[in-house]
């Protein structure tokens, strides 16, 4: 007579090994995804695009205070900086006060997230203005109609500027590898007009971080940032 087989016990050890192996694979795959995302983000920020924050009213009504904007670094590299472009540039010196330093854990976290491109730059060391003249251009103010003139051409800027063209009279030739910048909100912009003693007020191209191509947030302001015909049509 055949004896009944003994019931086989559940192999908890083998099952634990399987679960542990699956968990390890999951963690490894998650780590790979996170590292890949970080590498892509840093690569995009370094070579292609970067988020910035608009800190002041100097570019009203084109840009509003608090707008999150996208600056294209690749556009600067491939197309250069041209008249009419809105640019983000590092303070070449003396245009801003001492930046407010972020401290504590929150400050460290914000700096880290900004460095990898997850937060817009708000370092207090960058400015946003519009390029009115490029190297070799003669820019002056004002014409008999109180408008800015570039290479003898009177600019018609009422479509994108606020206030009078300038409260400062000047006439300069833009130095090599530099651009002359103004804020669209002319009465409330400390731009090239107020720094004529240094490099004729112009910003060195080496300080330009990128060309603003998109208003990203808030969504009510979402849209492109085109260069106006009044500037792109200049010869």
Tell me the catalytic residues: 58, 129
Q: In the chain, what is the straight-line distance between the N-terminal and C-terminal CA atoms, in Å?
A: 108
Three-state SS for 154?
strand
The length of the chain in residues reads 235
Query: Vertex 171, ends 165 and 172: CA angle to 5°?
Result: 120
| Rounded Cα distance, 36 and 42, in Å | 10
Of 153, 204, 147, which is closest to residue 179 (Cα–Cα)?
204
- Say if strands 203-204 and 178-182 run parallel, antiparallel, or are unpaired: antiparallel
Q: CA 76 from chain center: how many Å?
A: 12
Q: Is the CB of residue 197 less than 8 Å from the CB of residue 168?
A: no
- Give 159-172 as a DSSP string: TT-BS-S-SS-EEE
In terms of Cβ atoms closer than 10 Å to its own Cβ (0-12, 13-18, 19+), residue 1 is exposed
Q: Is the CB of residue 153 less than 8 Å from the CB of residue 172?
A: no
């Amino acid at each position: 007579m055949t004896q009944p087989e003994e019931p086989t016990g559940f192999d908890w050890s083998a099952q634990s090994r399987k679960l542990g192996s699956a968990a390890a694979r999951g963690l490894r795959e998650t780590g790979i995804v996170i590292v890949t995302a970080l590498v892509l983000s840093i690569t995009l920020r370094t070579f292609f695009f970067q988020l910035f924050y608009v800190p002041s009213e100097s570019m009203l009504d084109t840009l509003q205070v608090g707008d999150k904007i996208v600056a294209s670094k690749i556009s600067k590299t491939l197309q250069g900086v041209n008249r009419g472009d809105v640019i983000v540039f590092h303070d070449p010196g003396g245009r801003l006060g001492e930046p407010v330093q972020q401290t504590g854990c929150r400050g460290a976290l914000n700096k880290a997230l900004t460095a990898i491109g997850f937060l817009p730059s708000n370092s207090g060391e960058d400015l946003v203005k519009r390029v009115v003249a490029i190297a070799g251009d003669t820019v002056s103010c004002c014409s008999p109609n109180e408008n800015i003139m570039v290479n003898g051409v009177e600019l018609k800027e009422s479509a994108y500027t606020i206030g009078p063209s300038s409260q400062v009279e000047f006439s300069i030739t833009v130095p090599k590898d530099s651009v002359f910048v103004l804020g669209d909100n002319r009465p409330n912009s400390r731009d090239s007009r107020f720094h004529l003693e240094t490099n004729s007020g112009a910003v060195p191209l080496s300080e330009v971080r990128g060309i603003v191509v998109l208003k990203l947030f808030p969504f009510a302001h979402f849209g492109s940032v085109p260069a106006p015909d009044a500037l792109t049509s200049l010869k």
